[in-house]
Amino acid sequence: MVEEPLEIRLSGRPLSVTMRTPGNDFDLVTGFLHGEGVVRAADDIAAMRYCADTDTFNIVDVTLAEGVRPPEVSVERSFYTTSACGVCGKTSIDAIRQRTSYDVREDRTLFDPAVLTLLPETLRAAQRVFERTGGLHAAGLFDAAGRLLVLREDVGRHNAVDKVVGWALKDKRVPLTGHVLLVSGRASFELTQKALLAGIPALAAVSAPSSLAAELAEEAGMTLVGFLRGPSMNVYAGTERLDPADDPDGGTPRT
């Protein structure tokens, strides 16, 4: 399992350093900038390249499109993130309740609980790096029929999600109406926020969500599923998108 730093620059100016698993770096950078509110669409990025002043591929320089304002980096906010926590350095919870351009409450897509129970197995079978190392997180984007559209792995959970969102942004799929994002660990506040910013109406995790994640999902009208293991799951928000009649156990529990 490889973990290396990645420095993100905007027109040569250092913006952030994150610890990540190398691979799909441009997806990661695109998703990170989207999650930070720097860009909203792929066209907001004019160019992206690895810096030529180093013999490693650990520095990516981004040129924003004309008219896209760079963020104001305050001394109150550290842009250094680790593979363990993507919100380290935030001054307060209020600072990361960013406003999204998409209202997932208006997304009326219904998800069959029987289909959701199959997603972890599909995700696990597609984790090629995990199969060799046993130590990486994964995030997978599925459509309502349970088809896996993209999977990304990383030592950091937030990086894996950024890679998925970055891929979708570059492919001009955002907002991701009618999709569900599955994460291999727990559902944190930050991962919930990243999903909301991409217009994803449903987030599922194989482990527990945090209380703030459940609160944010409830406020935003997102469906939040935790402990998605085998035939069972807990639904913490957005039960209206799940049809209990389709549940093989006769109902979907909520905690």
Same domain for 242 and 130: yes
Of the listed ranges 84-98, 136-150, 165-179, the least confidently predicted one is 84-98
Give me the mean pLDDT over the 215-239 stretch.
95
Q: Is position 85 annotated as part of the catalytic site? A: yes
Q: Which of 73, 96, 119 is the last residue of a domain?
A: 96
Give the pLDDT band of residue 2 (cuts 50, 70, 90).
confident
Residues 6+ apart with CB under 8 A from 88: 78, 80, 81, 82
Supply the pLDDT for residue 253: 47
Residue 252 lies in a domain: no
Same domain for 131 and 84: no
Supply the pLDDT for residue 250: 45
User: Tokens for 150?
Assistant: 């993209």
Report the CATH number that the domain containing residue 119 is assigned in CATH.
3.40.140.10
Q: Is pLDDT larger for residue 15 or for residue 248?
A: 15
| 156 has a pLDDT exceeding 60 | yes
Same domain for 125 and 223: yes
* Structural domain boundaries enclosing 15: 4-96
Alpha helices in 89-245 (DSSP H): 113-116, 119-126, 128-133, 157-170, 189-197, 211-220
Q: Taking a C-beta distance cutoff of 8 angstroms, is the pair 79, 95 a contact?
A: no
Q: Distance between CA atoms of 161 and 31, rounded to whole angstroms?
A: 8
When divided into structural domains, the chain yields a total of 2
Q: Distance between CA atoms of 180 and 107, rounded to whole angstroms?
A: 12
Q: Taking a C-beta distance cutoff of 8 angstroms, is the pair 58, 197 a contact?
A: no
Q: Tell me the CA distances in angstroms from 218 to 88, 116, 193, one per residue in order.
A: 24, 19, 12
Q: Which of 17, 64, 68, 85 is catalytic?
A: 85
Which residue has tokens 């944190």? Answer: 188
| 200 has a pLDDT exceeding 70 | yes
Supply the pLDDT for residue 71: 86
Same domain for 112 and 90: no
Supply the pLDDT for residue 76: 40
Report the CATH number that the domain containing residue 88 is assigned in CATH.
3.10.20.10
Residue 241 lies in a domain: yes
Supply the pLDDT for residue 21: 93
Q: Distance between CA atoms of 85 and 79, rounded to whole angstroms?
A: 12
Q: Is pLDDT larger for residue 95 or for residue 2?
A: 2
Same domain for 10 and 30: yes
Provide the residue count of the chain: 255
Residue 41 lies in a domain: yes
Judge if pTM exceeds 0.85.
yes
Cα dihedral 242→246→251→253 (10° resolution): -40
Give me the mean pLDDT over the 196-217 stretch.
95
Same domain for 56 and 116: no
| 180 has a pLDDT exceeding 80 | yes
Which residue has tokens 């013999």? Answer: 55
Give me the mean pLDDT over the 2-26 stretch.
94
Q: Distance between CA atoms of 49 and 174, rounded to whole angstroms?
A: 23
Same domain for 128 and 241: yes
Q: Which of 45, 74, 96 is the last residue of a domain?
A: 96
Supply the pLDDT for residue 248: 46
Of the listed ranges 48-62, 90-104, 153-167, the least confidently predicted one is 90-104
Q: Please report the beta strands in the chain, taking only residues with DSSP state E, as ranges in sequence order.
A: 4-10, 13-20, 45-50, 59-64, 80-81, 137-143, 148-154, 179-183, 202-205, 223-229, 232-237
> What digits encode the pLDDT tens for the residues 232-241?
999 999 999 9
Residue 251 lies in a domain: no
User: Tokens for 154?
Assistant: 């990383």
Q: Which of 38, 67, 96 is the last residue of a domain?
A: 96
Q: What is the DSSP string of 50-69?
A: E-TTSSSS-EEEEEEPTTPP
Supply the pLDDT for residue 136: 85
Same domain for 158 and 83: no
